[in-house]
Structure 1
């Protein structure tokens, strides 16, 4: 039996993870759940899965939750509560599915406590990949990808040395604005929030769905892959694949390619991470290639979607620049969602913030968090 803590249990990844736990109750047991402000859903989850501890953002909400759950379940709050949850003595693996930077310290403390990490929060490796992977090596724990793309690459590599790899190929659906005939660049200023939330392949949270529309999501994944697989970012490429069936590919030095394919469903990479190194039977994901018919690929349009080149620049330079990229994008996406910024202006705000930053090489965690805070202030000023 593997004991699981889920940080971000009420979001799309967290709810999918609980479906996996429900499917595999003979193998997986939830010992901790954390949510932000969706107290009613967390209460429902806690009653169904009976964790030993839960955590919420607000202390007053925590008090109400403690009353509702009774003495059998500890209730924590805030960042300190997330750390308590991530370091529970009987936890084996911690799934981090918190949007933004909130999961960074809990993830590091989980590693230092000897817990394997299942990462769905891109920001953790984008901001602090050097520190996180160094700590994981030092404490002998695994950092397992939950993103479908990185899970696919991990499965294709299957222990092969990175020296055998020519390139990693991350696939992207292209988002709702892939077709340049329907959405030429000049129309990007007309894009509404509702337009941007119409993802063609996946059902996800608002922030990640907007990032998929700008392709910033794929840019962040490039940096994430650079750290997960210890490979220079210039060996990480992006390919548009509208059907979202080929989740990613590895091109080897001899010219061979390996790909991982399945119908889009986040339960599959989540299950693989939580049950690794086993492959456990599941009837949840069914793939019918006759019905799918055709799989197509095309190069990304970096003129209409400059996010990819901004991310490559941040990944090449490294240091605090990826944290600045991530923070500026979060601010810009929030401004777009609130109607204060056009869709077309999102990458421009990120670029201007990056241009204004003085990079610190090999930063400490404190310097990374300072760069994050600085970028948020500058992006707001811009």
Structure 2
């Protein structure tokens, strides 16, 4: 019989990791993985938006000598209290600082987990330097998928997805030919309101929206999970990551969040990736790929697993998914407009400025206002992103 197994791996040197977004939810889970595998992973650079005190604690624990603080006031505060960091620590600030960290000569892999568009230039810088890029910020491919993927190809750099759904697809696709894929199916938990009657949605509060039944995530992503904007962004991201057509990327509701994605092949067979709903699984896979070692979390216990449920998605109940799929079909800058308008609308909802059901209204009005076009360069994408934010803000009233 032909063995399905690859040869046993030989001893590998420790991978040196730069972590952008070290103080957020993904960052915290990444640190758990690194702490569990210090014989295989070494943290050499860290960055955060503003929480320099937490960065200092991480730097001391891991003896990190390269630190980035994005916001100017926090950067100045960190520099003023440099004694909180290990001796000889280089503290850099702003976007230029994140780009510098992404290109550290000693780094092997850069994990980008900063929220929003801030991670775009650092991600491109990492690819240009030939680093492996572990991507947790889905906005990067939504905004600039064609530029990011072109850079990865041109620089022969590896791009490893950290989002649980895309990481699951990646695992299912390994060893298979591209033309053998019929479609991919991303699962969606349905968020905090999946079982609420439609009439209750008019009275949703931010506190309600932040009660995710399965995942512990930041506030913006948790709201996106409830509206299914998150799944729409993930479908767009998947199209770029795996080189698929729009109709090859689909989604299904799966309340248990145990099956993270499925791949259907041309022979009708389905492969699925299952694990508990913890980001440590995809993070560890991305950082240590292709090696597999003991995980941070306990695996699934099938003696206690009662059942797995799947439901079709009703796009009338989840208009954000409908809008995202529209943007996916027409391409151009439409996905960037969708992303920017959604960020503005979600922030307004969390600040009690607009009701929950106004989020898709703001996004749709912004999409209707901005003329779609095919961007020739990154500057055009970023300019459209800024314009979409301005338009969306004007639609909040």
TM-score calculated relative to the size of structure 1? 0.97
SS at match of 1:103: helix
1:322 to 322, 335, 351: 335
Residue in 2 that maps onto 1:89: 105
Residue in 1 that maps onto 2:305: 292
Residue in 1 that maps onto 2:214: 201
Task: Flag as ranges the 4+ runs of structure 1 deviating above 3 A.
Answer: none
Residue 183 in structure 1 maps to residue 197 in structure 2: yes
Contact 1:55/1:62 (CA < 8 Å) preserved in 2?
no
SS at match of 1:4: strand
Residue in 1 that maps onto 2:40: 27
Residue 158 in structure 1 maps to residue 174 in structure 2: yes
SS at match of 2:193: coil
Contact 2:32/2:296 (CA < 8 Å) preserved in 1?
no
After the TM superposition, which residues 194-343 of structure 1 pair with which residues of structure 2 at under 5 Å, given as runs?
Answer: 194-343=207-356
Residue in 2 that maps onto 1:10: 23
Distance in 1, matches of 2:143 and 2:176, equals 27
Distance in 2, matches of 1:70 and 1:203, equals 31
Residue in 1 that maps onto 2:7: none
User: Pairwise CA RMSD of aligned residues?
Assistant: 1.1
Q: Which sits farther off after the overlay, 298-307 or 60-69?
A: 60-69
CA drift at 1:284: 2.0
**What runs of 5+ residues in structure 1 fail to find an aligned partner?**
none
TM-score calculated relative to the size of structure 2? 0.94
After the TM superposition, which residues 331-370 of structure 1 pair with which residues of structure 2 at under 5 Å, given as runs?
Answer: 331-370=344-383
Length, aligned pairs only: 379
Residue in 2 that maps onto 1:128: 144
**1:255-278 Cα shifts (integer Å, max 9, x gaps):** 000000011111010000000111
Distance in 2, matches of 1:248 and 1:282, equals 19
2:94 to 78, 87, 91: 78
SS at match of 1:295: coil
**1:95-116 Cα shifts (integer Å, max 9, x gaps):** 0000000000010011001111
Residue 60 in structure 1 maps to residue 108 in structure 2: no
Residue in 2 that maps onto 1:137: 153
Contact 1:319/1:360 (CA < 8 Å) preserved in 2?
yes
CA drift at 1:69: 1.6
Contact 1:320/1:363 (CA < 8 Å) preserved in 2?
no
Residue 37 in structure 1 maps to residue 50 in structure 2: yes
Residue 104 in structure 1 maps to residue 117 in structure 2: no
CA distance 1:300–1:192, shift in 2 (3 Å): same
